[in-house]
Chain A
Amino acid sequence: MSDLPVRDEYGFYEIRLESIGGLGANLAGKILAEAGILNLGFNGSSFSSYGSEKRGSPVKAFIRFCDSDCEVRINSPVTEPHLIAVFQENLKQILPVLMGMNDKTRVVVNTARTAPAARDFLEMPGGTLYCVDALKISREEKVKLNTTILGAVCRASGFLAKEALEQAISDTLGKKYAWLVPANLKAFNRGFEEVEILEVPDDGKYPFQPFRESPPRWGYGNAPIGGTITEIASTLRNDLSASREGLLPFFIRDNCTDCTLCESTCPDYCYVWREVEKDGRKTMVNTGINYQYCKGCLRCVDICPSQAIEARNESEVDTKKLSRVSIW
């Protein structure tokens, strides 16, 4: 029988998964809860930060474990997790994914970086870091990312028995997707094995960020009544690059014939066109992609008749340098 390594004042060991919709964090939470409750004999709960569940939008999943005879009473989100798993590292750029952690917290991150580089990328103040290249592993095993990350979470937890999670994975997939079980178990085991662990020194390089609900900019004192929004076109402030799942389009101007097909297919209006003078006539030309809004769907890659758009790995493209500024 396993025992919880630590408990908070309410008796819980708490896990927070930081992800984007579509990567299976919610299912990972369910698998964790089932492993802990049904197979290891803890009591507990699992739930997610639901909004409108679109692929690519930030989502959190929460898992709580306590002793079997302890009542689960708290229904609010996990704010001071013992373990955090970051499914998509670029989330760091738009959200405080490590908020509420302390020097005992274990952090799992899906990254192709080395552990020290990942530490700096995440600006992790202390604790223990577990790096796993889940994207690579899950692509190789042709499975969703979540089971690979579960492997690393299992390793990082130090108390969730591997067999219990393997059982829960098989049970969850087993009924309807039996043929997916072996590959997922392999991915899970690779996730468990192929982690790089780093004890992050509490060297003051980055500050710990205590949990805090950020107060809204608009409230009852200043918001236009009725919920009306007067700041038009304001979603232009959003950075959607964290929605990409590894691949992005790369534009090759020399091959482009300005046929406008990419413009007609891009759901995120990323192609930037400019007016130029050509042979004494004014015409529009395609100047490339605004990567701030590109979600990496690759519709444009498939549609381009002139090989002017290629799919590349995110890590191979300097999006900061190549990104175009939209003209509205």
Chain B
Amino acid sequence: MTEVITENKQVTVVKSGNEMAAVAAKQINYHVMGFYPITPSTQIAETVDEMKANGEHDIKMIPGDGEHGAAGICYGAATGGGRVFNATSANGLLYSLEQLPVQSGTRFPMVLNVVTRSFSGPLDIKGDHSDLMTTLNMGWIILLAKDPQRGYDMNIIAVKIGEQEKVRLPVIVSSDGFFTSHQKRRVQYFENKETVQGFIGPFKAGNHALDAAHPVTIGPYMNEPDLINNKKQLSLAMAAAYEALPGIFEEYGKLSGRKYSMVETFELEDAEAALFILNSSFDTAKEAVIRLRKEGKKVGLLAANVLRPWPYHELISACKNLRALCVADRQDSFSGQGGNMTLELKATLQDDPQNRTRVFSRIYGLGGKDFYVGDAVALLNEALEVAVSGRVKNRYDYLGASSGDLNYQAESMLEPIPQAKSGLPENFNLVKDETTGITKVKGVNLRELTGMPKRVVSGHRACPGCGIFPNLNLFLKGISGNVVVLFQTGCAMVVTTGFPLTSFRVTYIHNLFQNGAATLSGLVEMFQEKKRRGEIPVDDDFTFIMVTGDGGQDIGMGPTIGTALRNHKMIILEYDNGGYMNTGYQMSFTTPFAAKTTTSHIGPAQHGKNFFHKDTAQIIAATNIPYVCTVAECNPLDYVKKAAKAQKYSSERGLVYVKAISACPLNWGDNPRLERRVIQAGVDCCFFPLYEVEEGITNITYDPEKLKKKTPVGDWLKMMGRTRHLIEPEYAQELEMFQDEVDRRWERLKARHEHSLL
């Protein structure tokens, strides 16, 4: 055990990489954390938020409307001259990517945790390095944390290196998604935050936006001949970071007893063959080295702890005596003969005229595929062969890819839905009452509709009692003919299409979390255009339906508004369960006020979500599309009728927006058995009023007040674990504010119902 200086006492706990990153953030006490949830990095923001609710730090937590927004929040905060923190993964990183070179190019330090995950598509939530390697050219310092302990240590070191006067660069700390982020290990942290604060020192702002005495222009328009000089400055800053890092590692080592270096080696001294492998797999590979060493084989390991600044000299010297090196890349630079680490190592070793190392590449562990000791043994043995023969037989290959069962005959469980059978809703009779402007739907017989073939079938993996599927069922009962659906990322897509299985009997598309409306616009127009050109028979028809959660309509509001303004002939069905459920219930903009979620904890210092639920239907109605409605499973007949109207308007007039309230027993904290009652209560208290806006005319289709069923919101809120606290005396003020807001919106809706011009 290493010796520890007593005033800098450390405590031992069992925690994961994400939890340790959060502990570091708390002790650093950043000014601002801008964030947006994405697996597997979400837990960092969740843990920081929980600590906030307990009053353990003062970090201002700001949930973005997406990662692009979150990165913008961080940039803005950083220009204010303070400490800023963020964490993301995969598509979240890619969605915020354009903010990265701005942050570094305008030289505002901050810390971003990249918890690695494979980027889409197809969508995979597990860890590989495809996301991380896109950041190599962004001008950020990149520190790697191969285990939970380093998740803590590197986060502290990151602040120190990024804020060095000669450096002033933003820093990424990257750990392996799930392997490190979620694995609990024995770890240590400083008992007193003062130890951490003392190490990083006070924040020294450079030029910043909040100094009234010194106004500055941040982010000018800069072409040639100047930009090259800005980048030269950045390159010099990176060189300065290279100079400074060993000293900072040294200093941290003295403080903590854990001294890191630019590169990490294991049994490399006298090794003839070695494996270069980053982060968590490095440790697994150690066991392989131990095993092979016992057999007398001279093998070793090499990894970088810092990717930027690139440990150029350290790597050259580490490879000096190596005859063969297998570089295992957890991503591919397709056809570049290896992943990025292969390419960079080959380029680096090329500079050393004495170097005789044969380098070859293996792509492994994509999409989080597990890496076992046996895999490392195989790679090391291959490297040994190369060392002995002096020849690389197989320069570049995939480890662990499988060809599949070539004899397997594809077999569908069902035939496509026969046209004749999907036609029940065709018997509906839709007539517009010209005096009221409201279309009436007649001939809907729910019993008859039980005989209608389902476009989405059983066998999906949703939680017991999930509200998404009653919603899809009721909505599709109102739709006749061919259907193409597009789902944005969320529970509905994840539970229906886990490869190689699908719950869809009709064509289904998934694109990105936020981009469904734009994507379906494109498909609709392709259909129209092909039809116009005679490439599709004139009587072919489809109803195009996009399905999204409420979260998808936070991050995807932009594309939705664009689609509404262009008025494409399609339907958007939003199932609103009031949270990002697929990622474990973070707050969304539609989450009820003061509700507890994993990013709006309740505690002495925080009372749950601090703003009111977003009124999506009204936002969309303001775009003047032909038909907007709200639906709930507790009114099945009303639901099916509105679906029928949705189909009619989308085929004749343009975009239709349908918003459904959707139960989530897992995260609402209620009994799945009672879900229908909970939905009914949400409707009866007017939190979720049922109405439609048909060509600008508002029509309340179920009026609990007239029926003498209107209840206080508390009656609904007390049915769910997420809001039950609102009926406690200490939440009286929040409850009253909530009731006032619901009543205000309801009164306004009634006024609209009464006056066709509103």
Which A positions have Cβ atoms within 8 angstroms of B? Answer: 10, 21-22, 29-30, 33-34, 37-38, 43-48, 50-57, 69, 71-77, 79, 215-223, 226-227, 229-238, 240, 243-245, 258-261, 263-271, 273, 275, 283-284, 286, 290, 292-293, 295-299, 301-303, 326, 328
Contact = CB atoms under 8 A, between A and B. Distances in A.
Contacts of B687: none
A56 B463 contact: yes
B672 A232 contact: no
A238 B459 contact: yes
A297 B470 CA distance: 13
> Which interface residue of A47, A77, A292 has the most chain B CB atoms within 10 A?
A47
B612 interface: no
Contact of B413 (A48, A219, A232, A301): A232
Interface stretch (B199-207, B496-504, B648-656): B496-504
Contacts of B292: none
B633 A264 contact: yes
B451 A264 contact: no
A50 B370 CA distance: 12
Interface residues of B, number: 91
A49 B463 CA distance: 17
B246 interface: no
B450 A45 contact: no
Contacts of B582: 52
B287 A74 contact: yes
A90 to B, nearest CB: 14
Which of A21, A56, A267, A299 gathers the greatest number of chain B CB atoms within 10 Å? A267
B403 interface: yes
B182 A235 contact: no
B463 A269 contact: no
Given A30-B184, A264-B636, A233 B122 contact: no
B619 interface: no
A231 B412 contact: yes
B505 A229 contact: no
A74 B449 CA distance: 55
Given A236-B414, A297-B665, A299-B672, A56 B184 contact: no
Contact of A298 (B287, B410, B673): B673
Contacts of B506: 232
Contact of A43 (B186, B453, B633): B186
Interface of B: 1, 12-14, 16, 40, 121-122, 125-126, 176, 178-180, 182-186, 280-281, 283-284, 286-287, 370-373, 401-406, 408, 410-414, 416, 446-451, 453-454, 457-470, 473-474, 491, 494-497, 499-506, 582, 584, 633, 636, 665-666, 672-677
Given A57-B461, A223-B404, A328-B453, A75 B500 contact: no
22 contacts: A22-B666, A37-B14, A38-B13, A72-B185, A73-B284, A75-B283, A215-B402, A219-B403, A220-B401, A229-B500, A229-B501, A231-B410, A231-B502, A234-B500, A237-B501, A238-B459, A240-B458, A264-B636, A268-B458, A269-B458, A271-B450, A298-B673
Given A74-B373, A284-B447, A297-B672, A236 B458 contact: yes
A7 B661 CA distance: 53
A220 B402 contact: yes
Given A233-B502, A264-B636, A328-B454, A227 B465 contact: no
Contacts of A270: 458
A-B CB proximity, top 4 nearest? A219-B404, A235-B459, A221-B403, A297-B465
B371 A273 contact: no
A74 B370 CA distance: 11
Contacts of B13: 38
A222 B182 contact: no
A269 B464 contact: no
User: B284, B371, B405: which has the most chain A beta carbons within 10 Å?
Assistant: B405
A283 B447 CA distance: 8
A235 B184 contact: no
Given A47-B182, A237-B459, A299-B465, A53 B501 contact: no
Contacts, number: 277
Nearest to A258: B447
A223 B40 CA distance: 28
Contact of B416 (A56, A232, A236, A295): A232
A150 to B, nearest CB: 16
A216 B284 CA distance: 24
Contact of B500 (A30, A216, A258, A267): A216
Given A48-B182, A296-B464, 9 more contacts: A77-B370, A217-B500, A232-B413, A232-B502, A234-B412, A265-B675, A267-B469, A273-B450, A299-B675
Nearest to B448: A284
A79 B372 CA distance: 10
A269 B469 contact: yes
A47 B178 contact: yes
A230 B450 contact: no
B226 to A, nearest CB: 44
Contacts of B665: 55, 297
A233 B412 contact: yes
The residue in B185, B406, B453, B454 that gathers the most chain A C-beta atoms within 10 A of its C-beta is B185
Contacts of B497: 229
Contact of A52 (B286, B373, B453, B494): B494
A37 B125 contact: no
B499 A227 contact: yes
Contacts of B468: 267
Contacts of A227: 121-122, 499
B467 A236 contact: no
B269 to A, nearest CB: 19
Q: Name, among A75, A79, A227, the residue most crowded by chain B CB atoms within 10 Å (CB to CB).
A: A75
